[in-house]
Amino acid sequence: MKKILIISCFLFFFPNFTFANELNIFTSRHYDSDIQLYEKFTSITGIKINIISGEDAALEKRMIEEGKDTKADLYITADAGRLGLFDKKGMFQNSISPIIKAKVPENFRSDNWTGIAKRARIIFYAKDRVSSDEIKNLRYEDLSKPNWKNRITIRQSNSIYNQSLVASLISNNGIAKTEEWVNGFVKNFARDPQDNDRGQILAVASGEADLAIANTYYYALMLSGQKGKDQQEAAKKVTPFFPNQNDRGAHMNISGAGVLKTSKNHENAIKLLEFLLTKESQEHIVNNTFEYPIVENIEPNKLIKNTSLGNNFIQDLKTPVKEYSIFQEEALKLMLKAGWK
């Protein structure tokens, strides 16, 4: 009773104190499989994990407003552009330990945050409406050409995934050429941008469009049957295609994390990041989320390995994902100016 009273008094006078054997995660990833990993980490290390889950905008607003008083130690989210923009606001500290540096390719991390899994944003098309000549050697840059008029579907310009894709084009081709590309690309839309990535694949399957751009794991999720038989059958009607295989490779992005500058448990946060890069954790991630492993010599999910989504494609290793946030603001300006809703 006396010990409890002493602890209660201590917390009254020092409300922002956190005990060393815990870790507070703010995450926008909504996977039960992530929770399983955190529980495994706790069982191994004894470090208690507290999770605050929500949408990125709300989580970031909260952390920024709370400032040095925030309980957040680690922010986990999807898209390098989002991590980069948050980092620009001075929210992260250097969190790249020697283990992280050795395991994560330089292209998929910065000094202050790291990828924990990869995803590719590629093309899905209808074989009966897209000729072999059209799809052969296709590049993202070709999607602005007149032969694709009224044939392409993609989600809205406020999608961070699309903003990062256009940012990568700016990084590789410059603003002027990318503006020209965006203007032509928007003219080729089969419908107003709407829905999520699965909605784009469904639009191709139903004949509403001939070609869609979406992230690979959505397609795999549909194929798995977890979203119902109708979506599984729809996925079987479209064919994945990796663009730019004769030059820089398919556009890649990440799920990643950074340690808050104000973290009171930064050592525990780095321990968790290192844990997420172990062979067992990487296998757990890819087998439950259909993402690609960020660590070498890890096989992708069997469903991906046994389809054309397997690892045998050229990834864009030329464009550092940390550049997405550099060009994201300009990318959105070009998209809105071109009428990309």
Domain co-membership, 207 together with 268: no
* Cβ atoms of 75 and 257 closer than 8 Å: yes
Same domain, 229 and 175: yes
Judgement on whether residues 157 and 296 belong to the same structural domain of the protein:
no
> To the nearest whole percent, how much of the chain has pLDDT over 90?
89
Quick one: 333 and 232 in the same domain? yes
Residue 8 lies in a domain: no
Backbone φ and ψ of 21, nearest 5° = -95, 40
CB atoms within 10 A of CB 324: 29
- Asked if residue 323 is part of any domain, the answer here is yes
10 falls within a domain: no
In this predicted structure, what is the pLDDT of residue 20?
62
114 with 127, same domain: the answer is no
Average pLDDT, the chain: 93
Do residues 258 and 159 share a domain? no
How do residues 122-153 score in pLDDT, each as one tens digit?
A: 999 999 999 999 999 999 999 999 999 999 99
Whether residue 224 lies inside any domain: the answer is yes
Supply the pLDDT for residue 11: 38
Residues 241 and 328 in one domain: yes
pLDDT recorded at residue 23:
98
> Picking from 93-102, 262-271, 306-315, which range would have the lowest pLDDT averaged per residue?
306-315
Residues 190 and 172 placed together within one structural domain of the fold:
yes
Token pair belonging to 125: 């098309």
Distance CA 212, CA 101 (A): 35
- Please, are residues 26 and 38 in contact by the beta-carbon 8 Å criterion? no
pLDDT exceeds 70 at position 115: yes
pLDDT at residue 17 is higher than 70: no
Domain that holds residue 161: 120-251+316-337
237 and 263 in a common domain:
no
pLDDT in tens, 63-74: 999 999 999 999
DSSP 54-96: --HHHHHHHHHHHGGG----EEEEE-HHHHHHHHHTT-B----
* CATH number of the domain to which 332 belongs: 3.40.190.10
Residues 6+ apart with CB under 8 A from 70: 62, 63, 260, 262
pLDDT at 224 over 70: yes
Same domain assignment for residues 191 and 102: no
Q: Predicted confidence band at 54 (pLDDT cuts at 50, 70, 90)?
A: very high
Question: What pLDDT shows up at residue 10?
Answer: 38
Domain for residue 7, yes or no? no
Q: Is residue 14 part of a domain?
A: no
Q: What is the pLDDT of residue 92?
A: 98
Q: Give the largest CA-CA distance in the chain.
A: 80
Residue 8: pLDDT above 50?
Answer: no
If one counts the domains in the chain, the total is: 2
240 exposure class (CB count in 10 Å sphere: 0-12, 13-18, 19+)? buried
The answer on pLDDT for 13 being more than 60 is no
